[in-house]
Structure 1
Amino acid sequence: MPLSTGGARMPDSLARWSRSTVDGFTVYRRPATASAGEKDTVPGHSPDPVLFLNGCALAAAGWLPVIEQMPDRDVIAIDRPGFADTPWPGTLPDLAGELAAMERAIEGHPRVVIVAHSMASFRAEAFARLHPGRVAGIVLVDPSIEDYRFRGPAGRFSLATWLPIIGALVSREEIGEFVSWLSHQGFLRQTGSGRVLDPEAFKDPYTDPDTLKASIAEWLSYRSQAADLQSLRRRTDPVRARTSALLAPPLPGTRRSAILADSFADLVRHEIRDSRHLMMIDRPDMIVEAVDEVSAGR
């Protein structure tokens, strides 16, 4: 029986990788499929592994266009609870739990390069602040940039009221099919390449009730995770790891640009104007170049 990811057949390339599940988080590991000598690397030096962190409500399979262009790297990717045939735990995710999952995922590797899309930039920054020695570099792919100081009411009210209602509602098959169609239309608007989105990564997962519940829960946790990160910023130093921020239109304004600059001490901005939010689809080559950029000289 083929493996699946949230109700959709798992892409063959992902299914061939090593796979483990701890506390609902599914971790995929793909060893380098080409020798380091096939690219311009320091002789005798193995490049650091790359850890991919998905944006809100996205599956690890969405990174495949990027991963396929870096055969010289060990790769680690993560699907959150509710994806990859795991049950939704019935709670909102929080920043502490996400960081613990990252620690488990990179166990055995002294350092990694972190590639984080959208909301996952919260996790990348928090991990680098708490574990600076474990981070060889960071690539922020059209990151979420916030400085919320208050967690908001979402966590308190959602756990008590909204999540049980949502859980019951989205269990209906027709709701999942409608949300699957609706989300796919949204993804199409977030790409500018004209390529057909892989339905296994960007459409079908939401027909699975657990995946849909997990996606809504992650969206509801956005403000609380951002506020937890802001609290961490106030008591830790800016991130010192070399960081490349790949920004798609609409570009961040003055306030968000200042937040980004204050948070990362060694930051290079790249404006990728021919991409939209799903840059892994539009410009996977730029993400690969950014990984090499933050790894240079390390």
Structure 2
Amino acid sequence: MNPLPTACKDEVVLTLPTILLPGLGIPASAWNNVKAHVPNAYATDRLDSHSPLSLEGQVNRVIEFMDDRDIDQAQLVAHSMASFIGEAACRLHPERFTRLILVDGSYEERRKACLRIPIEKLIPHATLRAIVQEWRCYSFWANELREIQRSHPLRTRTVVIAAYACRPGRWVRKLRRQAQQLSALFVPMKGSHRLMLDRPEAIAALIREDPPQAQRHDGYAL
């Protein structure tokens, strides 16, 4: 798919497609306010009981989503637990992604694997069951990503966004460390964990690479 031309004053800006991945238990519709400011954006939804449990299976699902829409290259924006998917996708398929933006992404150093316990009888609702299944895969995905990191370097330009409520604390310092490890641009942003709902215009500005927004957020020079 060719980039879409969008008017910007007297110029024509070519905008690559943007793939938006929601976090655990969050519907694709949570990205609607961001999409209103980003042309050619697509939000995926993983809230179904047939979602693959492996991290690589989730990556393949993103690639299939792109192939079904004839998208050759795109920016990839991943929120929360979907950051595992986003980083793995860019490492495994660097030719498909021009930039990776991790929105308050999961960054835990959990080593112990979660137990795989059948929950079909405990939770009859398919969507809730899918959420619980995915949550139980958290440590599996973290460990799977760690293996991918060892064998596949990250060549995609990356932005790490960290949410904070009042002032930056331990969590922001942790994501700053992640940004350093990924050689990424680090952006602390005031708001709740669901930044796409709290700060849609700021998120969209980073996706569009709007220079003023990309250089300074909430008083923090980058």
CA distance in 1, matches of 2:207, 2:15: 10
Q: What displacement does 1:219 show?
A: 0.6
1:233 to 121, 125, 149: 149
Q: Do 1:55 and 1:118's aligned partners in 2 also have CA atoms closer than 8 Å?
A: yes
2:157 to 242, 248, 254: 242
1:132 to 94, 99, 107: 94
Gaps of 5+ in 1: 1-30, 83-87, 172-208
Q: Does 1:36 align with 2:6?
A: yes
CA distance in 1, matches of 2:22, 2:31: 8
Q: Do 2:75 and 2:100's aligned partners in 1 also have CA atoms closer than 8 Å?
A: yes
Find the counterpart in structure 2 of residue 106 from structure 1: 66
Alignment of 1:174-253 (within 5 A): 209-237=125-153, 239-249=154-164, 250=169, 252=171
Select the structure that is richer in strand.
2
Q: What displacement does 1:118 show?
A: 0.4
CA distance in 2, matches of 1:41, 1:242: 28
> Per the alignment, do residues 40 and 119 of structure 1 end up closer, same or farther by CA in structure 2, a change over 3 Å counting?
farther
Gaps of 5+ in 2: 215-222
Structure 1 segments (4+ residues) deviating >4 Å: 253-256
> Per the alignment, do residues 101 and 211 of structure 1 end up closer, same or farther by CA in structure 2, a change over 3 Å counting?
same
- Structure with the greater relative contact order (CA < 8 A, sep ≥ 6): 1 or 2? 1
Find the counterpart in structure 2 of residue 183 from structure 1: none
1:141 to 100, 103, 115: 103
Deviations, residues 42-77 of structure 1 (Å, cap 9, x unaligned): 64x53100001010111111111111122xx21222
CA distance in 1, matches of 2:30, 2:37: 14
1:128 partner amino acid: C
Q: Report the TM-score, using the length of structure 2 for normalisation.
A: 0.82
Q: What displacement does 1:242 show?
A: 2.1
2:177 to 247, 253, 258: 258
> Per the alignment, do residues 233 and 252 of structure 1 end up closer, same or farther by CA in structure 2, a change over 3 Å counting?
same
CA distance in 1, matches of 2:163, 2:139: 22
Q: Do 1:54 and 1:116's aligned partners in 2 also have CA atoms closer than 8 Å?
A: yes
2:121 partner amino acid: A
CA distance in 1, matches of 2:27, 2:66: 18
2:178 partner amino acid: I
Find the counterpart in structure 2 of residue 283 from structure 1: 199
> Per the alignment, do residues 49 and 151 of structure 1 end up closer, same or farther by CA in structure 2, a change over 3 Å counting?
farther
Deviations, residues 185-241 of structure 1 (Å, cap 9, x unaligned): xxxxxxxxxxxxxxxxxxxxxxxx10000011111111100110011111222x232
Q: CA RMSD in A?
A: 2.6
Q: What displacement does 1:278 show?
A: 0.6
CA distance in 1, matches of 2:47, 2:104: 24
Q: Do 1:53 and 1:116's aligned partners in 2 also have CA atoms closer than 8 Å?
A: yes
Q: What displacement does 1:268 show?
A: 1.1
